[in-house]
Structure formats: structure tokens, C-alpha cells
Structure 1
């Protein structure tokens, strides 16, 4: 069989020698193109290591020993700091001789102001690892604190998503984060996203970078026992929306342009066969609290790789204006 080059050389010769009369004078341009495809043609799955089991929180101290941690930042919020999940974490750290400092000022529904407060704490502490104990607000705050502590000269808006910020990528390796979720909804323990309210425009935005993903997610169903029923119900709906959106997101082959370098492929790549598996899991399994806790993580893997679509974006300006609502029995 003739080579590709010889075939195109022949077509070009025929094209040049073809009849030039008005009836047959159309000359097509036969070209061999090496242009980058306008649509993406590949996807990749990035995910935190996930460990699931009743009482698995007791292992966090050993994990930090295995990481060689010497100075750990434990982040939580003013409510969770006095609850059993936090006690289990600190007991494990003490039992394994881990030196730590607690930051318990995380704001539920973080703002740029609250993130900056946590970032300042992280910069001063010089931590070599982080443990986030709480819901999505705690985990997202911890991710941001880690990012900016590792990039101390960066302006806050440097890493914030465009068009609000500059959407820069970090070249600095971040410190390891272990995420221990106490709610079942956000899936933040497996995503490279940190969401917050940008107060100046009264809307939610975020920071997206694969480096933000926690190294390890400890999924302990025991932590769901203290979650109020109303919050559990709302969290279940959050899981459902995450899974449904990632499952029905634009396919990765329809998103473009294709990146010029694989390192530039976005965190949200579009639906793909592997993220679909995670999304389907939690669409089918959100009944019992322990299963819902795992389902939230599964949905996080789906949303963290496939992304979401318009309804999620529409919620940001709405949520950015909600200031006073507190779910029943939340405390």
C-alpha cells in the first residue's frame, strides 16, 4: 500500500493538473494538517486515596507518622471542634506523638475574608501537613490555606477562577492534606476545588487546581450520627445533584479547545466512562446514612473530574446573597 505522503502527493498533482475551464475549474485544497484538534480527545481521572470504614478516623495519626509529619495543622469550625469526630482525630494524633496546632475559626460558607484569616494562620505556622475535619467549608478553607501558604508572595486573586480572578496555576508542590468529612454532600474530600463567597460582588466563585486535591480521604460513617436530620436530608439532595450533573455533563470529546499540553487540561473535563461509574453509584445508593457518606465521596470523584453545568453556576449568585438562613436543629 502506498504511503500517506505518496497518496497526498498524487492528489496534489491531480489537483494542479485538473481542467481549469469554468465548468470544471473548482480546485480543492488538499493539505496534511498537524493542527491541534479543536475539541478535546482525551480525559484523565485524578482522585484522592479513599479509605472507608467504621472508626477509620483512629488511623489518621499513623498516616501522619507514615508521611513523616512534624508540624500538623488541624482545621475545623467552631461547632465541630467540640464534637466526637474532632476528639477522635486529636486522640489519634496524641497517641501517635504528632505535634499539631488547631485552627477552629473556619466560617461555614467561607468568604474571601475568612479564607484570608485561615491563610494567615497557615503562613505563620509553617506546617508540613494538614488535616481537615468537618464539612465542605472546612475542607475548602484548608485547601486554600495550603495553596497560599506554599505560595506566600501570591496575590489572593492570582489563583481565583476567571473572570473574577486571574486563574493562574501553581508550580509549587503543596503540602499533603488528609480530609475527614463529617457531612455527606459536598464530596470536597476528593476534588481540586475550593469554593467561597467573594464579598465584593456577592457571588460564589472558587479556585480550581488538581494540586488542591487531598492526598487521603478518611470516610468514617460514625461521623454521620451527630448530623441533624434536616442537614442530612439537604446533604442527600446535594449528592444527588452532583451525581446527576456530572453524569449528564457535556462529554469530554465535546469540550474545547484541546489543551496544548496535558498539564493544562482543566479540572472539570466533561463526562467520561469512568466518572460515569462513580456518578451512577451514588444515584443508586443514597438511602442509609453510612451509604450516603460513601456516596458523597463517589459523587465528589464524578464532579471532580467531569464537572457540572448551568444549574450549578446559576446557584452561585443566589447562594452569595444568602446570609441569615440556618437549617433547623443545626445549632
Structure 2
């Protein structure tokens, strides 16, 4: 039985024409709410598959290609492999390598200006989520030159307008095993005026093709592999425990307004659960041995699997709370990242609140929390439903401890005095926080941040 608001309405038994009209209206509302929609990029996977990209661009009839990456990657094998393929196939291109790790509205705008000034007909992104998301934004605004920057940014920070115009083809070549951005229509950035992350979410942003070459992950430093993997872990956990799609409201007035993040659903569940199994089996190996091709290849695929899952189901509190954690960073310098600014990597900012968050959300769907704990190695045979949150939280703490993760937000320079600012930065993240299976108040958020100051 559908539990959406429309099916819970009762009607007076006076079947006037007006009553029939409203009955039909509510039926229409039910149909719109109680559906889920699957969307994902085409994915091509295999060792050395990057060498095909030049042929792909030829097949697209590309005449002026924008290749986006960052300064560090521009001299590493993944970019060199792609550029070699472009040259061998006679593809005309220009390189933009000023992508900022953990992009901001300012860095997005710089990439957008570059794109508008060069009339590109195809975009190629070689890098992690920062590069792919920046390339998505550049493509979007180059194809909507009259749009204000905040037009497509998620409400309530931006206007959240639907994308109605066609975008240019975008081929994504991920070099990290984390964001799954090669599969999704989401582009995340730091909105500097609020010191919090937000983003743009539309299926129109999805890459045309994701080229997943596991050889590229061998260039990831240990900490980058760890933090990228934590993003996969939380994508899988949050999408699997998100508010079910048929409990979401209000109804979109038109299918074009249906959000990319719809809530947990039967199809996304398959991808999310499988990604979690791969993380449990291979993540520690992938972090500890950069030459373990099997483990790093498996994590690369897990990132894709989790991306398909959360790209349609969505994430919730871990991600919503992570945005102000990253946006309010003071002096923390992340190991393994060659950047000239303070940085809390996205995966780290997400995973540090996970024990507290899943302890909080467990009462709403304890079976799913217990299943997740079991996949991650916990013995749940004698665990009661009411203890599901504590078991998953303890399992996550042990997982993080074994991978030498910083001891909570306090280790990043935060204190209890920062909690009000962190809560304020979480409140605008309604796109994801409303997918929490458990409703929450500002006081709840404060308690979750406080519980995340120290993990062990």
C-alpha cells in the first residue's frame, strides 16, 4: 500500500463534479509521487580503455574539444594517455588545467568563462569528482550563456530551475575511486558566501559516457585512496537507508521537476548493496597497497555501482553535514593532497559523522542498518533490532580505526564552539537532508556534530 500523502486522504461521499475532479487530481498526485526513475551514464570499463577516447570523439564529429583536469593530474599518466589518444586520432582540443580540488563558486565561474570563450562542441573531464563536476558546470552554463549562476543551483541557496536546453556531449574519465561523478547529474562546489557546499542537480548534467580505466587508480596516493573510498562507503550506506521513494512529498507538478535524488528504491538498492559488499572486501587492500590492481580495480567499479545507486536514490545526513565541515575548514592540511589551501577532503568530511548519523537513523529501518553492519563484518545473529544503530556505529568506528582515520572533527581543528556554524551550514542542504529516514531538528544536528568531535 502506498503511504504517500495522497493515498491517506479521505473524501466526502458526495460525488459532485468538483469532488470527482479532486479525486482525479489526487490520483494524479499519487502516480507522480509513487514512482522511481532510473538514469545513469553509459559506462565503459577495462584496463587501458582510455586509448579509445580519440575514436569516440571522432565518432561524435568533434571539432573543438575542451579537456579539463587539474595541475597535478596534467603531468600524470591518466592525462597523458588521453592526450595521446586525441593526438593519434587528429582531434583538435584545448586544455583547461586550473580546476580546483574541492571547487568553489569562483573556480566554477572561471571554468565557465573559459568554456564560453571557446565555443567547444564536446567536453572531456580527466580527474576525480572535482574535475568532472567542474566540467559539468562549464558545459551547462556554456550551453545557457544568458543564465545567472544561481539559476540552476539547488534551492534554497539558488533558484533550482530545471535544465531545459540540450548540453554538449561530455566524456568523463575518472581517476579516483570515490565520487561516482561519471554516472550522476550532480555537480558539487563550495559556495563561499555561506562557507558551505551546495550543488547543481539535473539529469541533463550526466556525462554521455564514463570511461572507467582501472589503471588510472594506481596513481592515487594512499590517503587519496582512503578518502575516495570513504565516499563510496557513505554513498552506499546513505542511499540504502534513505527515505523510501514512495514516502517523498510534495509531488512534482511535472516529470521534469522530479528530483534526481528520489529516495531509496528497489533498483538503487541493488547497486548500493553490491557496492557495500565490494568496499567491505577490497577497500583496506586498495588503501594499503597501491599496486594491488585487483583491489583498486574493484574499488573503481564500486564507485560506479554506488554512483548509480545514490545518483538515483540520493544521500542524506552524512553528506548534508559534510558540506559545512569542508566549507568552514580553518588550517587543516590533508595528507596526500598537493594543494595550496586548507582542505578537508570530501570523503573524510562525510565519513567522520557516519557513526553518529547511523546510530541516529537506525530506529527507522533497523533491518537495513543491521544488514549493512553484517556486510562490513559484524556478527549480528544475536543483535536486537533496537541495538542496530549502536552495532553499525561500532562497526564503522573499527573500520575507520583500522584505516588510520583522524579521530573525529576535533582532529580537524573543530571544537564545540564551532557547532552552531556547522548546523547553520547544514540547514540549507535540504536537497539531501530531507532524504534522512528520520526527521531531525537543529538540536538533533547539534548533538550529531558533538558526538562526531571524537570517534575512538
TM-score, scaled relative to structure 1: 0.89
Q: Which residue is equivalent to 1:91? A: 84
Q: Could you tell me how far 1:311 is from its partner in structure 2? A: 2.3
Aligned counterparts of 1:329 and 1:142: Cα–Cα separation in 2: 23
Give 1:298's aligned residue. Answer: 305
**Gap runs ≥5 in structure 1:** 1-26
**1:74 shift after superposition:** 0.1
Cα separation, 2, equivalents of 1:253 and 1:171: 26
Q: Deviations over 1:43-74 (max 9, x none)?
A: 11110001110001001111111111110000
1:270 paired with 2:263, answer yes
How far 1:150 sits from its partner (Å)? 0.4
The match for 2:24 among 21, 27, 34 is 34
Deviation at 1:327, TM superposition (A): 2.9
Cα offset, 1:297, TM superposition:
1.0
CA distance in 2 between counterparts of 1:217 and 1:74 reads: 14
Larger-Rg structure: 1
Quote the residue 2:286 is aligned against.
none
Of 111-120 and 33-42, the range deviating more from structure 2: 33-42
Contact 1:139 1:189 (C-alpha < 8 Å) held by counterparts: yes
Aligned pairs for 1:81-120 within 5 A = 81-120=74-113
1:229-279 deviations in whole A, cap 9, x for unaligned? 111112111101001101111111111122232222111011111111111
Residues 142-291 of structure 1 mapped to structure 2, 5 A cutoff: 142-286=135-279, 287=282, 288-291=295-298
Q: Deviations over 1:109-130 (max 9, x none)?
A: 1000000000000000100000
2: CA distance between counterparts of 1:125 and 1:323? 36
Alignment partner of 2:115: what SS? helix
Contact 2:65 2:93 in 1 (8 A): yes
> 1:168 Cα shift?
0.8
Q: Residues of 2 paired with 1:146 and 1:251: CA distance?
A: 32
Structure 2 residue ranges without an equivalent (≥5): 1-11, 283-294, 339-456
Q: TM-score, normalised by structure 2?
A: 0.65
- The correspondence for 1:309, drawn from 296, 303, 316, is 316
Query: Residues of 2 paired with 1:170 and 1:237: CA distance?
Result: 31
**Cα distance in 1 between the residues matched to 2:334 and 2:321:** 21
Aligned pair 1:74/2:67, yes or no? yes
1:54 corresponds to? 47
Distance 1:194 1:307 in 2: 13
SS at match of 2:29: coil
Q: 1:323: how far off? A: 5.3
Separation in structure 2 between the aligned mates of residue 198 and residue 86 of structure 1, nearest angstrom: 28
Higher relative contact order, chain-length normalized (CA < 8 Å, sep 6+): 1
**Inter-partner Cα distance in structure 2 for 1:120 and 1:154:** 13
Residue aligning to 2:373: none
Aligned Cα root-mean-square deviation (Å) = 1.5
Aligned to 1:14: none
Aligned residues: 306
Contact 1:111 1:199 in 2 (8 A): yes
**Aligned counterpart in structure 2 of residue 325 of structure 1, from 332, 339, 345:** 332
Do 1:184 and 1:292's aligned partners in 2 also have CA atoms closer than 8 Å?
A: yes
Could you tell me how far apart the structure 1 residues matched to 2:307 and 2:62 are? 27
- Partners of 2:162 and 2:256 within 8 A in 1: no
Do 2:44 and 2:212's aligned partners in 1 also have CA atoms closer than 8 Å? Answer: yes
